[in-house]
Amino acid sequence: MEQVLLSLMFILLICLCLFFWLKLENIRLKFSRQGIIGPLPSLITGNIPEIKQIMSVVPNSDPANKDPKDISPFYCSLNLFPYFKQWTKQYGGTFMFTLGRQHFLYVTDLKLVKEISIFKSWDLGKPAYLQKDRGPLLGKGLISTNGAVWSHQRKTIGPQLYVEKVKDTVNIIVESACTLIKSWDNVVKAEDGVAELIVDEYVRNFTSEIISKMMFGNNFFEGMKLFPKLKTLIDIMSTPTFLSGVPFSRFLPTKKNKVAWGLEKEIYAIIMDIVKKHKATTSENMLQTLMEGSMNGELGPSTADQFIVDNWKAVYLGAFEVNAVVAIWGLMLLASHPEWQARVRSEVQEVCGDKPPDANMLGKMKVLRMVIQEILRLYPGVAFVSRQALQDLKLGDTCVPKGVNIWIWMLALHRDPELWGPDADKFNPERFANGVSGACKSPQAYIPFGVGTRVCPGQNLAITELKVLFAMVVSKFSLDISPNYHHSPRYGLLVEPEHGVNLLVKNI
């Protein structure tokens, strides 16, 4: 009997392998008939072994790696994703690859990017792996859902981040910037006028305070308790799942998974406690908006409570972590380019004088706008625009089978010399003097907030935060790169400084 069971299990395993192999070959055949090819995958792990092999030789083969203070964006992209660079040379700007059982279409062809950006059907949505592999962090919130559920979430959250709403929050952003500046000023004075600061935590406190005030109003201190737990959860989920190469690893009771599951429950409990207290008030804030959204509209499989929690995490992930990472890179770039730092300072003094910036003043700062656009070009925080074909669909002349994931490598588009000129890997805000249309050959080459119907709803808030922070910081301090700074971008969920950003901060 035991031998029969083993034989049946073996036959079942063979059948499963044959099924997955036929499915893979069918997808590869459909793409190859369109002239789209890619690296040959293995049956179980796809192209993961080749990725690991390419990554293993990069530190020894990259001459830029010899200089730890090389802050060129070229160094960033080359070291983070050398396999995409290699495959692009071999297969062109559009190719397919496989990670485990997930099939991907890599895209940097501008015609295809444009087709994705104008595609309106819900048949093109967010990948299923966002909910499956990063469920404890993303859940079924705005970032990871599709169809009617996503539409309801967008209609609930989006209006809170429109331009006019963001203008009303400038005072909140200024208050939070004042808190950061005061903390820096205390350290600088204690160090006789010049201090070395690792700015990361200061900036994260800045962005977390803003979104907490927007979410909870006067009770924002309640929300601040969540950030250490959320940041820990982000760090845990930051290792790309596909690197392990183990199918269904999210179900295994590993130490990492146990910690993630525990944090997910703790965050859920804290948010529900805040919601319970909030029900006794009449405050109008973003939490109230989420609570109202949970009582009507399409929720899908989520409960009303889960709707609130998952969308709270979605808002916080963008407004807290993504905004912070971009701001940290921005301070690094300003510190390493004193001529642009001086130009921003001069403009702020001319427009604002001794007053803190308001919405009207921010709109007049052209140099600051150019600097921020260039920061977002070089360090957008998010590395990829990700989509999935939820049905068989056609993007221009390209047929994409159901289930295939689409990745647009933002870093490649933003640094392509053919699109941006020979200085594409250099920090040069002057390129944006006449806007995006004057900076590059195609508007599809600049997508720091994504493309199409799924473009980031928080982009107005992000840009306003960056404007206020940079304007107020350079008005008060002179920034320089510390000799202790080691430029080492790391990719997890976002492209962030692996060792933090060390700056020398001096009172003006």
What tokens were used for 441? 């050959």
d(Cα 275, Cα 304) in Å, to the nearest integer?
A: 12
Phi and psi torsions of 398, nearest 5°:
-100, 125
CB 431 within 8 A of CB 425: no
Phi and psi torsions of 24, nearest 5°:
-60, -45
Cα angle 56, 57, 63 (rounded to 5 degrees) comes to 135
d(Cα 113, Cα 403) in Å, to the nearest integer?
A: 18
Q: Collect all residues with Cβ–Cβ distance below 8 Å to 156 and sequence separation of at least 6.
A: 289, 290, 292, 293, 297, 311
Buried b or exposed e, range 79-110, using 16+ CB within 10 angstroms: bbbbbbbebbeebebbbbbbbbbbbbbbbbbb
Residue 15 is assigned to a ligand binding site: no
The widest CA-to-CA distance across the chain, in whole angstroms, is 87
d(Cα 365, Cα 426) in Å, to the nearest integer?
A: 22
Q: Give the helix ranges, DSSP H, for 353-501.
A: 359-362, 366-378, 410-414, 417-420, 435-439, 459-476
Q: Count other C-beta atoms under 10 Å from residue 506's C-beta.
A: 14
In angstroms, the first-to-last Cα distance of the chain is 84
Long-range contacts of 20-27 (CB under 8 A, 24+ apart): 20/101, 24/98, 24/103, 26/401, 27/96, 27/103, 27/401, 27/403, 27/404
Residue labelled with tokens 């990948």: 127
Residue labelled with tokens 């040069």: 428
Q: Which amino acid would we find at residue 201?
A: E
Binding annotation for heme: 456
Binding annotation: 456
